[in-house]
Structure 1
Amino acid sequence: MRNLLPFISSHPGGRSALTCRFRCGDACFKETPNNSDNEYAGDIIAGAVSRRSMMRAAAVVTVATAAGTAALTGPSAPQAEAAALAGHGHRPGHPHKPAPSGARGLRFSPVAPNKDDKVTIPDGYAQNIVIRWGEPILRGAPAFDPDKQTAKAQAGQFGYNNDFLSLLPLRGERGRQVLVANHEYTDEILMFRGYDPANPTREQVEIAWAAHGLSVVVVQEEHRTGKLGPVNRHPLNRRLTATTEFRMTGPAAGSALLRTSADGTGRKVLGTLNNCAGGTTPWGTTLHGEENFNQYFANGNTDMHKRYGIGTSATERKWERFDRRFDLAKEPNEANRFGWVVELDPYDPDSTPRKRTALGRFKHEAAQPRLTSDGRPVVYMGDDEKFDYLYKFVSSKRMKKGNSRAAREHNLTLLDEGTLYVAKLTGDSPVTEIDGTGKLPVDGEFDGSGVWIPLATGTTSHVPGMTADEVYVYTRLAGDKVGATKMDRPEDVEPSPRTGRVYVALTNNSDRGKAGKPGADEANPRNSNKHGQILELAENWDDPAGDGFAWRLFLVAGDPDDPATYFSGFPKENVSPISCPDNVAFDAHGNLWISTDGNQLGSHDGLFGVATHGDRRGELKQFLTVPAGAETCGPVIQDRRVLVAVQHPGEIDGASVEKPASVWPDGPGKIVRPSVVAVWRKDGRDIGV
């Protein structure tokens, strides 16, 4: 560990400067793209917000507060849970029934905050590396050799910087599942020995193209343990990269805004970039959010490029030297073909993945659907940028059940037709009670009502002055025009399969309250917000396609000893400290699991579980921490197994292949490799029970 001390970062916040440089193009040190003055002026936008919408939102809040049932728990929730949530959740000072072992699903000894260069897990649990960057998954791909990398080899190997994970069942193959992984970005300094950032070689650039994208790989469970390992050369295994062909679908496909010299149709695009989190659909496909795509494009020269954070000069990776499509001076529309939600059918290795234009274009962190009572998908999405927005899409089509060819073909059209909305949130406390410190208002909670403002339906725009194509391609501008609420980096958004409530991870916003920037509001109650919060939305369980909702902050992150933190009223002396929530997932018990990115409390990032209902609501416990320089991604929570993606281990200022800042996962003398980790109980029982 003494050898790691020179790599302590002087970069402000929890991330290293190296991570900011390669992951998001130093977005935090550039002008915030959203400089709009978009305070909503009232019922002035045709078809956008009506008095009826506001009344519906108020009705949801009234039901939630008075009854504590339909809006917040749904008719399927037990009466005991409804009673526990009566009054819109626990208030500070409300008693919690003693339950020394904790909420079901969270009965493990919490991991203490630490800075150990390993994956630290609770007592009684075991772990293994499922798959590492560079492991061969396709027929003919060679074993990984860090000093003999080639683009051809990487195109058949597991990609770099694994983020979102999905585990899908594989019928007829006992003990096997289909693992789908996003590969968000590359860090060439940690990939290539002797890398010269000013003069990358063509081979290095082409390796990086091949290391981006998605991986599909079948994994096998080891008998009598929880270990998982890849099944090399399985016919379902697949790599999709920055040069794979994708289809543009939906209402904006074919638009002049999507056409380039290489694709005059506006319907075919090469590659997917910066895939962050994602989602798994009820019809068996996976969704992948293209996030910080802006950093790959050079020489931005329009206001729309600026609104999406695209710079006016050369890029960090210099890809524009090797492919003209990354030079916007030559191909001004190429960037418009990124920033979408990608849908992939992992069961069909010959299928062409699709970029769904109906879901809008922005920095998608994730996209997780649920179904209305009549079977229509509703997809919730966050735009991961300071002061950007929360969205949802409601399909106009119903899902067909079954696995017939006709059903699968129909279901692959569900995300092409419907209405795209953006969220407007209003607090219910006097403005004077929201002072930017995080102090709770007099009513004991940060809460209020909200409306979903429609932006476009099919080829019809609901935003004056913008065509439907413009709404889909320049969705941020549409949100600006209708007065959406500026949020603290909305990232992963997940609906609870148990209650229907929707949880939004808001990671942080250090610019909140700065001169010339928006100050605190009830949904974003802290200025210079370092630690983030979790927002909870309540819509009608039977009709999440409605346009009104109630909301409250479920968790205000940070050190529990800090008065400006909140854990749904649960005693703060009994929770783990948490900072910078990023990805979220649910277990079978209805607990929310939160992975963090950029912990600003002096510990490594980790994975946490928190009870969302009952007498232990707000009880948060840390399940694991990741190695030096890494963030925790994924996660997948199964009954007897937890999967996490350990992304960018060793990404600490001053590190390189020659001077590693971590020895994970393979020990001293080996190159640091992003990897997927499985954790299970040694006694074979369910997690946390």
Structure 2
Amino acid sequence: MPDSAPRRRLLPLISHAGGRSRTTCRFRCGDACFHEAPNTSANEYFGDVFTAALSRRNVLRAGAVSAGASALAFGVGAAPATAAPRNPRLGFTSVAPNTADAVTVPQGYDHRVVVRWGDPVVPGAPEFDFAGQTAEAQERQFGYNCDYVSFVELDNGRGLLWVNHEYTNENIMFAGYSDGAAADLEQIRISMAAHGGSIVEIERVGRTGAWKLVTSGRRRYNRRITASTPMRLTGPAAGDALLRTAADPEGTEVLGMLNNCSGGMTPWGTVLTCEENFNQYFVGGEGAPEDVKPKLRRYGIAVQGDTRAGNRRFDRVDERFDLSKHPNEANRFGYVVEIDPLDPDYQPRKRTMLGRFKHEAANTRITADGRVAVYMGDDERFDYIYKFVSEKRYRKGSRRHNDTLLDSGTLYVAKLTGNSPAEEIDGSGALPEDGEFDGSGTWIPLCDATTSYVDGFTVAEVLVHTRLAADAVGATKMDRPEDFEASPVTGKVYCALTNNSSRTPEQADEANPRANNRYGHILEITERRNDAGATAFGWKVPVVCGDPEDPSTYFSGYDKSKVAAISSPDNLTFDASGNLWIATDGQPGTLDHNDALHAVPVEGKYRGELKTFATVPYGAECCGPFITEDQKTVFIAPQHPGEDGTVEQPQSTWPNGDFPRPSVVSIWHTRGRKIGS
């Protein structure tokens, strides 16, 4: 396809109020936001809690601080255990907003494509042939729509990339594609093979921060995970009747993982990859048993009407995706999956102890007494944020012991409380009288490995129907909580709340302070005594995203005339200096320019000075990101470039000038300086 292939402007094709492309909504999440939010619980919004509110200021002024009020006051303005660093200013000039069909980086930086959809992964895999794709080849080639990226350094200037393959855009993968009902069966098998993840060996280019794919030699770590790879179910729910099927009567093994979005790394070097919008792959909900239907509905699975005109129709090649025949199969997806990139024989584990929902992330901290905490978001409008704390302590160097850590412990869900009167939070985004959106929170226990803390739920029911259990304990409804990252400098934990255009002014609260929140915001959590094992925390909203000229935006009080625009924060990472890096998903539909990687100091004099570091190609989402330990490289993963096009009428030809290929890109400073310095 020539470089001059016709492209249409992106903005007129946006029909999603939250900012995503209509095509993204179709293929990524099955048009989730075009339907009623699955959370119809009566959980209180902060406005309901504070209808007669006294503000924290008045309580303190009155000297009436009870034990409960002390918990409310905790963390509001409190410093972590370590002194806040005086972060240096980010040392690059913001990339200008654009709609270019290219990756754009700041002056003084360069970039290189590391690996693309279809590149051989497993030794002996064939070269990619767009017109002659087969499932057999795709099972050994780099998959589609790369998302979360992690990196493990090896010796001799080499390393391993783990990359999630979240979902497939069949409209730009196959000529003439319309939907799964009409698709050739081999196309469906190719799509299944293009899901999952890849482990690929890469090598540094000279002494630069550039990396390239290793294409010869043994490459013993290289591996593909697909929608059909055998995986173990572990933890307290494994073997429960809720997870048993005709093909797996023991309820301990499942084939494949679906819609893996973000993830994290464990202290012992494994990857945690997270199943998100798994609901859209199933049909036949209308034929499921009546007592199962409310549970399916809570997870966004249609249980009435014709659900068989779906996007992919995996059920046409594997009937386990038909819930009228196998109603428990959906219960076997929606987990955090642990994979060891250094052990090619390691069977992936679906860790049921971490709960089942639309997992977006799973990032870890070590508690004060040496246990492991995992922070997780449920990427749905009005759903919740979670934390797991292991029962056992982490043992450095003991791989066998650490393989058991995520199978026993306590699963929590968060309840957040604002410290301002309800009338000061009106949904406009205007700051309350005290000048910040802030408050306190509690981690509410749902269960441990042997005991349920939710009335009417067994342990297995809590872990398989986690959303319903969280509804029952009154968790706080959030604006699509996605990635979590902890600062390596302060230990504070940050959550990307991508957007929620369905929130009304009456539903606004201090942690979700803007109605029709198309642009999203960032949440900052400071746990008591800076201990990841604590059950109480303080929180703030340091960034309310959007165009800085919009009065509803907020950048920690920094001069907004010196701040870049940002919308729909999705994936997060930190550099070694403690600056927060934010990748976006939805800027084209809200700000009329390409998605990007931004960076912002979250401590010190320049807290809130957000800059744009890189933009991704036309129609693409910015995924990843991952900054190497030496801070010489940042990896990003432009996903679904030209997503609203077709093979016949492409909207992007990135990266090679022919057809769009989701890829991983390395970015580095041409003089060897640290990223962002």
Whether these two folds match at TM > 0.5 is yes
Residue 392 of structure 1 aligns to a residue in which SS?
A: strand
- Alignment deviations for residues 599-637 of structure 1 (CA, whole Å, 9 cap, x no partner): 111111000000011111111100011111110000012
Q: Is the 8 A contact 1:506 1:534 kept in 2?
A: yes
Summarize the Cα distance change of 1:118–1:374 in structure 2 as closer, same or farther, 3 Å threshold: same
Distance 1:265 1:593 in 2: 43
Aligned counterpart, 1:278 = 263
Cα deviation, residue 64, structure 1: 3.8
Distance 2:675 2:473 in 1: 45
Amino acid at match of 2:329: E
- Alignment deviations for residues 624-681 of structure 1 (CA, whole Å, 9 cap, x no partner): 11111110000012311111010000002xx1111100111111xx121000011101
Cα deviation, residue 231, structure 1: 1.7
Distance 1:547 1:153 in 2: 49
Is 1:355 aligned to residue 350 of structure 2?
yes
Distance 1:614 1:200 in 2: 55
Aligned counterpart, 1:601 = 591
Return the match for 1:208 from 174, 191, 196: 191
Cα deviation, residue 105, structure 1: 6.6
Is 1:24 aligned to residue 12 of structure 2?
no
Return the match for 2:108 from 105, 112, 124: 124
Unmatched tracts of structure 1, length 5 or more: 43-53, 82-102
Distance 1:520 1:427 in 2: 11
Return the match for 1:247 from 217, 220, 232: 232
Is 1:657 aligned to residue 647 of structure 2?
yes
Amino acid at match of 1:18: T
Distance 2:13 2:656 in 1: 23
- Alignment deviations for residues 527-578 of structure 1 (CA, whole Å, 9 cap, x no partner): 1111000000110345321111101101100111111111111111111111
Aligned counterpart, 1:479 = 470
Summarize the Cα distance change of 1:64–1:449 in structure 2 as closer, same or farther, 3 Å threshold: closer
Distance 1:338 1:688 in 2: 38
Distance 1:9 1:64 in 2: 44
Distance 1:597 1:542 in 2: 31
Is 1:503 aligned to residue 503 of structure 2?
no
Summarize the Cα distance change of 1:485–1:270 in structure 2 as closer, same or farther, 3 Å threshold: same
Cα deviation, residue 522, structure 1: 0.6
Amino acid at match of 2:385: L
| 1:434-513 pair list within 5 angstroms | 434-513=425-504
Aligned counterpart, 2:563 = 575
Distance 1:10 1:543 in 2: 43
Distance 2:125 2:552 in 1: 52
Cα deviation, residue 55, structure 1: 7.5
Is 1:533 aligned to residue 521 of structure 2?
yes
Amino acid at match of 2:654: W
Is 1:175 aligned to residue 157 of structure 2?
yes
Cα deviation, residue 224, structure 1: 3.1
Summarize the Cα distance change of 1:38–1:349 in structure 2 as closer, same or farther, 3 Å threshold: same
Cα deviation, residue 3, structure 1: 2.5
Distance 1:240 1:559 in 2: 39
Cα deviation, residue 202, structure 1: 1.6
Distance 2:477 2:402 in 1: 33
Cα deviation, residue 65, structure 1: 4.5
Return the match for 1:3 from 6, 14, 21: 6
Cα deviation, residue 273, structure 1: 0.4
Return the match for 2:336 from 341, 344, 350: 341
Cα deviation, residue 10, structure 1: 4.2
Cα deviation, residue 57, structure 1: 7.9
Residue 410 of structure 1 aligns to a residue in which SS?
A: helix
Distance 1:382 1:195 in 2: 33
Aligned counterpart, 2:167 = 185
Distance 1:38 1:441 in 2: 23
Residue 289 of structure 1 aligns to a residue in which SS?
A: strand
Summarize the Cα distance change of 1:58–1:166 in structure 2 as closer, same or farther, 3 Å threshold: farther
Is 1:141 aligned to residue 125 of structure 2?
yes
Unmatched tracts of structure 2, length 5 or more: 50-64, 287-292
Aligned counterpart, 1:34 = 39
Amino acid at match of 1:248: L
Superposed CA RMSD: 1.8
Return the match for 1:74 from 72, 81, 100: 81
- Alignment deviations for residues 323-379 of structure 1 (CA, whole Å, 9 cap, x no partner): 110000000000000000000011100110100000000000010011012211100
Return the match for 1:388 from 376, 379, 383: 383
Amino acid at match of 2:335: W
| 1:624-663 pair list within 5 angstroms | 624-638=614-628, 639-652=631-644, 655-663=645-653
Residues 229-238 or 212-221, more deviating: 229-238
Residue 285 of structure 2 aligns to a residue in which SS?
A: coil
Aligned counterpart, 1:15 = 20
Summarize the Cα distance change of 1:109–1:142 in structure 2 as closer, same or farther, 3 Å threshold: same
Cα deviation, residue 494, structure 1: 1.1
Aligned counterpart, 2:210 = 227
Distance 1:426 1:6 in 2: 43
Aligned length: 638
Return the match for 1:290 from 265, 275, 289: 275
Distance 1:166 1:262 in 2: 33
TM-score for both structures, normalised by structure 2: 0.92
Aligned counterpart, 1:93 = none
Distance 1:634 1:10 in 2: 24
Distance 2:67 2:264 in 1: 29
Aligned counterpart, 1:106 = 90
Amino acid at match of 1:481: A
Is 1:552 aligned to residue 536 of structure 2?
no
Distance 1:362 1:571 in 2: 39
Residues 381-390 or 184-193, more deviating: 184-193
Aligned counterpart, 1:46 = none
Summarize the Cα distance change of 1:278–1:565 in structure 2 as closer, same or farther, 3 Å threshold: same
- Alignment deviations for residues 386-428 of structure 1 (CA, whole Å, 9 cap, x no partner): 00000000001111112xxxx1011111111100000001100
Q: Is the 8 A contact 2:7 2:649 kept in 1?
A: no
Summarize the Cα distance change of 1:225–1:56 in structure 2 as closer, same or farther, 3 Å threshold: farther
TM-score for both structures, normalised by structure 1: 0.90
Amino acid at match of 1:473: V
Residue 396 of structure 1 aligns to a residue in which SS?
A: strand
Residue 471 of structure 1 aligns to a residue in which SS?
A: helix
Q: Is the 8 A contact 1:608 1:620 kept in 2?
A: yes
Distance 1:106 1:59 in 2: 37
| 1:294-373 pair list within 5 angstroms | 294-301=279-286, 302-312=293-303, 313-314=307-308, 315-373=310-368
Distance 2:476 2:664 in 1: 36
Distance 2:412 2:14 in 1: 40
Distance 2:654 2:348 in 1: 33
Cα deviation, residue 38, structure 1: 2.1
Cα deviation, residue 15, structure 1: 1.8
Distance 2:428 2:485 in 1: 27
Amino acid at match of 2:97: P
Distance 2:526 2:418 in 1: 14
Return the match for 1:666 from 656, 673, 676: 656
Cα deviation, residue 12, structure 1: 3.5
Aligned counterpart, 1:89 = none
Distance 2:74 2:298 in 1: 39
Q: Is the 8 A contact 2:5 2:649 kept in 1?
A: no
- Alignment deviations for residues 43-98 of structure 1 (CA, whole Å, 9 cap, x no partner): xxxxxxxxxxx9888556646446x42xxx323x35x75xxxxxxxxxxxxxxxxx
Residue 131 of structure 1 aligns to a residue in which SS?
A: strand
